[in-house]
Amino acid sequence: MAPATAAEDPETLAFETTVRDGGSEVVLEETYFYPEGGGQPADRGTLGGLTVLDVQQRDGDVVHVIDGTLETGETVRGAIDPEFRRYCMRAHTASHVLYGAGRRLFEELGYGGFGITPEKVRVDFSTPTDIDDETLVELERLVNRCVWDSRDVTWSRQPQAEALDRDDVAFNTKTEEGLTGETVRVVEIDGWDAAACGGTHVSNTIEIGPVTVLGRSNPGEGLTRVEFAVGPEGIDRRAAEKAAALDAAETLGTAPTNLPEAVDRLREERETVAAERDALRERILDATVADIADERFERDGRTWAAGVVDADANALAERVRDRPEGIEVLVLATPSGQLAVGTGEGCDAGDVVASLTDRFGGGGGGSSEVAQAGGLDADGSTVVDSLRDA
């Protein structure tokens, strides 16, 4: 059986070994390539000068999928991509630090898994605690404080019963990682976190570097997903956020730390202006309807008024329901051809709408007092002129 030693000795990036099973999917006598698993991607690199396309754990063996073939019994040199390995070590350890921060912030915390991509890392939490923006900021603060504190990271194998008996050891509730054998590999961050894990890790949190929380989402199954970035991606994201904050602060004429108060003030001002705008629109609409009523006309033995107004459907219905005094039938149309009809006793608004849609297309309906229509093949002015000219 080919031992998978990457997790136990993550600093070994070059080695020589013998091919146990040759071909394009190779098993070695020993390997330091990490096989994909537990949310961590497979290592990249070369084997015998050939590109390693994938590394998987199959039936207890580590299988290296290569771009070519190797012969059984051949001695080969393995070379692991140091940049990608180091990134995965940092990212994986950062996920443990994040979970440790979650222990300090959330109630009834459960671990639902994690995943690493070149751009970001995710950790899935199971907790009744509401993880809002303020909580995300505190998570990021705690994580980076743990990084700064330079806490030692160690790993060891412990009897399964002993590990299960420890309240401080986190287990993946979905995969039950580490519970298939007699022992459990436990990764511990001194004074911060302990978890069953088979991944590669740095030996001290200071090696992780800055961590930037990106956001949260709901992947279902009662989980909250928190995404973060380490390395260049995290640094670039933080720089972009800093630049955006500085730009916004300059625009608002305040300091970045005073942005919340400035935004609140701006929101209040906007709401005040919006309320004044809406009140002005109402006054203009009332004045427009009054002008339309002044140009009333007789039709079918009743007093009508009809005109074009720029308003939404609700405002139209409201105005035709509260017709000006002396108007028995009020028809208001928008420039685009929506219309509303309000009628008094003895006249059916639905009938008026039906006659107009019969002539101009579209459809509508309503009560005998108020009816509406839309989708007409004519604009508002054409509809109004047809009523006046009839």
- The CATH number covering residue 72 comes to 2.40.30.130
Cβ 143 vs Cβ 91: under 8 Å: no
Token digits of residue 347: 């006249």
- Does one domain contain both 18 and 164? no
* Domain with 354 in it: 282-389
- Does one domain contain both 158 and 287? no
- Does one domain contain both 247 and 105? yes
Write the CATH number for 222: 3.30.980.10
- Does one domain contain both 61 and 160? no
Which positions ≥6 away from 205 have C-beta within 8 Å?
A: 93, 97, 146, 147, 149, 150, 151, 153, 189, 192
- Does one domain contain both 232 and 301? no
146 occurs within a structural domain: yes
What's the pTM? 0.73
- Does one domain contain both 65 and 155? no
6 occurs within a structural domain: no
- Does one domain contain both 93 and 57? no
pLDDT for the residue 220: 84
- Does one domain contain both 156 and 173? yes
- Among 290, 287, 292, 338, which residue's Cα sits nearest to residue 311? 338
266 occurs within a structural domain: no
Total domains in the chain come to 3
pLDDT for the residue 265: 93
- Among 146, 104, 98, 139, which residue's Cα sits nearest to residue 122? 98
- Among 237, 375, 222, which residue's Cα sits nearest to residue 383? 375
5 occurs within a structural domain: no
Q: Which long-range contacts (CB under 8 A, 24 or more apart) does 179-185 make?
A: 183/157, 183/158, 183/159, 184/157, 184/158, 184/159, 184/160, 185/7, 185/155, 185/156, 185/157, 185/158
- The strand pair at 121-126 and 14-21 is best described as unpaired
296 CA to centre of own chain:
56
274 occurs within a structural domain: no
pLDDT for the residue 34: 97
- Does one domain contain both 244 and 121? yes
- Does one domain contain both 201 and 224? yes
pLDDT for the residue 2: 38
Largest distance between two CA atoms of the chain:
107
What residues in the chain have per-residue pLDDT under 50?
1-2, 175
Entry field: residues in the chain: 390
